[in-house]
Structure 1
Amino acid sequence: MHRPGHFSSQSDIRAIAELNDRSREIFRQIVESYLATGEPVGSRNLARILPMALSPASIRNVMSDLETAGLIFAPHTSAGRLPTESGLRFFVDAMMEIGDVGREEGARIEAQMKAAASGHTLETALAEASTLLSGVSRGAGVVVTSKSNPSLKHIEFVRLDPARALVVLVGEDGSVENRVLDLPAGLPAGALVEAGNFLNAHIRGKTLTDLKQEVAKGREDMEQQLDTLTARLVEAGLATTVGSADSRQLIIRGQANLLDDLKAAEDLERVRLLFADLETQTDVIDLLTRAESGEGVRIFIGSENKLFSLSGSSMIAAPFRDASQKIVGVLGVIGPTRLNYARIVPMVDYTARVISRILDQNR
């Protein structure tokens, strides 16, 4: 499969900036046809749909200039042309008209998100956001966020075998998290119960991070109440659960959408490669996290990111914030480069803002 390149020189970029109205309109029609159908468009078809009267020969001359500028390419020996990745980037950045989410659609998104968040965990609302975004695009809805740090309701240590125990943490929001803990040698028989009782006496209304800080500050007091090994168990149990490496979670919904509307064997291969990309969750999380660095929506097209260099896919993503305006996650859509950018960009932006408002209201 031909892989379009990027702008080859400053003169190409200058040529793009200097496109006249006729060239821009022909380029726009090529891109919009590709986004709608995935098919190359030729000069004869363009002559029929252009708002200006131009002969196929004149259109071919303009197409030749656009190809020289690196905006379009011929995928086969046919006369049809498709936008390059650089052409798509230019279209998205300089030519695409993005509207607002309609009032009815906005109200529907808000209602769905609030219903998912009411009485449930944040993860439930984020999963709903991912499902919603997959439904309005031809792609997969994705969300990455820090694992929740809810106020705790109960902590329990459960012995698995002589050398290991399970730390069970129950949040006030109903979430349950388990971690396996290595036990100190020679631990007294009642130490697990004693450690749990000590933590539960200090737990009310505190997050795990709060509890760890309190235990660290009151270490002398703890060592007076507990024997040395049990005190070590308390600290080890908190250390096992706070700041663990898998502190980011990825939610993906609607991957089956990527199998719809396949045009050819090369499309099936592209989707297979994209599925392989999505399975490397660490790379997807890293890419989504890059969207935290800017305001508003970020768009990654094809080989602009090495994760999608083989599958030729795109991602549209926007960060969401908590009540203190701190960015706590990113949501978006991953799919083919012919995503409906004009529709999906405002949807991603609006959904991220709705999630931020929910987080602000639920503080």
Structure 2
Amino acid sequence: MPADSLAALDDRSREIFRRIVESYLETGSPVGSRNLSRILATALSPASVRNVMADLEHMGLIYAPHTSAGRLPTELGLRFFIDSLMQVGDLGGDERKRIENEVMAQGRRSGVETLLTEASQMLSGLSHGAGVVLAAKQDVRLKHVEFVRIEPTRALVVLVGEQGSVENRIIEVPRELPTSAMTEASNYLNAHVLGRTLTEARVELQRLRDVRRREIDELSEKMIAAGFATWSGPREDANTLIVRGMSNLIGDVRALDDLERIRLLFDDLESKTDLIQLLGLAEQGEGVRIFIGSENKLFSLSGSSLVVAPFRDGGDQIVGVLGVIGPTRLNYARVVPAVDYTAQLISQFLSHSRR
């Protein structure tokens, strides 16, 4: 339906349409002409309401789920409502403080991954949908590095970040490598690369190799080179996906009207299908974006909505995306400002943590 046709709706048609959508967002159920005639600001008979509903149905804004039922908004109708009729207010002071307390406090205490987990959990609780956060793994600044032999020819490289994150990699080592070489390699790294990211550490080690070659023996140097070569290699999983509140979707199957779709969503979330597409959705525009039903084929699922916003690091680069997946009858007016504000908070946190 052309946009100018939608814009041409008179006030009475817009009011009836708005009431149908608001009723759907609140209850998930169709609403009939008799009930509408009782709640309209202007007195209209059920017959007059039915005439308007017939026009709205002809325009593709509403439909009857079955014979003699009331009407529900179509995906086109929801898009028209969100773009033209919905009023999105700002979050109140109490809600802002709640989000800050639930999300930012955990981040300051426990680091970025905990911050993102709390954000996902908070958005799930607020929306009664599934809170989703996807982030590129951070090139953390190093606090401690250690090599630990676990087998005669294998060693564990342990990297501890400044915010408490711990990641391990296994490397192959010569059988004749003494424990003293591992200790020396660990001590050398802790003396020269702490506070640097892995990328910065590799550059510094290259510089030190030429300037201070005699500070460590040949075996220790090989140990360091092997460890950092492993960390600089391809990453099988370069993204962190956090999903909280998927059970909310199961609890609202009446609105989605298809449990199989939810199963597909769960399967795709578990396998991290289309993560690059999810990041791409956020990169295509500033602020919050809303995808309704079949507008977005993400997760092999139509009949659901995705409200998503990007967050950035200190270099103003998009490093992740957060949002809510749920039924098309999400409370958009409440979810949109919450997603937007949470993304802003995380961007601020990441910006300050890199200084």
TM-score by length of structure 1 reads 0.86
What's the CA shift for 1:63? 2.3
Q: Deviations over 1:219-254 (max 9, x none)?
A: 434765556665444233213224624222111112
Q: Which residues of 2 match residues 100-115 of structure 1 at below 5 A?
A: 100-115=90-105
8 Å contact from structure 2 (residues 64, 71) kept in 1: yes
State the alpha-carbon separation in 2 of the partners of residues 265 and 173 from structure 1. Answer: 40
The change in CA–CA distance for 1:221 and 1:171 in structure 2 (over 3 A counts) is: same
Alpha-carbon RMSD across the aligned residues, in angstroms, is: 2.6
The change in CA–CA distance for 1:29 and 1:177 in structure 2 (over 3 A counts) is: same
The change in CA–CA distance for 1:56 and 1:211 in structure 2 (over 3 A counts) is: same
Match for residue 160 of structure 1 among 113, 128, 150: 150
1:350 and 2:344 matched: no
The change in CA–CA distance for 1:34 and 1:285 in structure 2 (over 3 A counts) is: farther
Q: Deviations over 1:199-237 (max 9, x none)?
A: 223122212221012223444347655566654442332
Report the equivalent of 2:186.
196
Q: Which residues of 2 match residues 55-74 of structure 1 at below 5 A?
A: 55-74=45-64
8 Å contact from structure 2 (residues 256, 327) kept in 1: no
State the alpha-carbon separation in 2 of the partners of residues 255 and 288 from structure 1. Answer: 20
SS of the counterpart of 1:123? helix
Report the equivalent of 2:320.
329
The change in CA–CA distance for 1:45 and 1:288 in structure 2 (over 3 A counts) is: farther
Report the equivalent of 2:240.
249
Q: Deviations over 1:41-99 (max 9, x none)?
A: 22222222222233333323322322232222222223322111222112111211000
The change in CA–CA distance for 1:73 and 1:164 in structure 2 (over 3 A counts) is: farther
Q: Deviations over 1:86-131 (max 9, x none)?
A: 2211211121100010111112222233321233212222211111
Report the equivalent of 1:211.
201
The change in CA–CA distance for 1:124 and 1:310 in structure 2 (over 3 A counts) is: closer
State the alpha-carbon separation in 2 of the partners of residues 171 and 302 from structure 1. Answer: 40
The change in CA–CA distance for 1:316 and 1:95 in structure 2 (over 3 A counts) is: same
Q: Which moved more, 1:213-222 or 1:196-205?
A: 213-222
Report the equivalent of 2:297.
306
Q: Which moved more, 1:97-106 or 1:141-150?
A: 141-150
State the alpha-carbon separation in 2 of the partners of residues 257 and 189 from structure 1. Answer: 54
The change in CA–CA distance for 1:217 and 1:172 in structure 2 (over 3 A counts) is: same
The change in CA–CA distance for 1:324 and 1:264 in structure 2 (over 3 A counts) is: closer
State the alpha-carbon separation in 2 of the partners of residues 78 and 284 from structure 1. Answer: 42
Q: Which amino acid aligns with 1:305?
A: N
Q: Which amino acid aligns with 1:188?
A: L
8 Å contact from structure 2 (residues 117, 242) kept in 1: yes
State the alpha-carbon separation in 2 of the partners of residues 87 and 207 from structure 1. Answer: 49
8 Å contact from structure 1 (residues 323, 359) kept in 2: yes
1:89 and 2:82 matched: no
The change in CA–CA distance for 1:36 and 1:264 in structure 2 (over 3 A counts) is: closer
State the alpha-carbon separation in 1 of the partners of residues 284 and 192 from structure 2. Answer: 37
8 Å contact from structure 1 (residues 31, 88) kept in 2: yes
Percent identical: 60
Report the equivalent of 1:30.
20
What's the CA shift for 1:14? 3.3
State the alpha-carbon separation in 2 of the partners of residues 116 and 15 from structure 1. Answer: 49
State the alpha-carbon separation in 2 of the partners of residues 246 and 144 from structure 1. Answer: 12
Report the equivalent of 2:115.
125
The change in CA–CA distance for 1:205 and 1:352 in structure 2 (over 3 A counts) is: same
State the alpha-carbon separation in 1 of the partners of residues 48 and 299 from structure 2. Answer: 36
SS of the counterpart of 2:65? coil
The change in CA–CA distance for 1:285 and 1:141 in structure 2 (over 3 A counts) is: farther
Match for residue 78 of structure 1 among 65, 68, 90: 68
Q: Which structure 1 segments of 5+ residues have no match? A: 1-10
State the alpha-carbon separation in 2 of the partners of residues 18 and 287 from structure 1. Answer: 35
What's the CA shift for 1:273? 3.1
8 Å contact from structure 1 (residues 289, 330) kept in 2: no
SS of the counterpart of 2:159? strand
State the alpha-carbon separation in 2 of the partners of residues 237 and 89 from structure 1. Answer: 52
1:144 and 2:140 matched: no
Q: Which amino acid aligns with 2:74?
A: T
The change in CA–CA distance for 1:310 and 1:123 in structure 2 (over 3 A counts) is: closer
The change in CA–CA distance for 1:162 and 1:315 in structure 2 (over 3 A counts) is: same
What's the CA shift for 1:338? 0.8
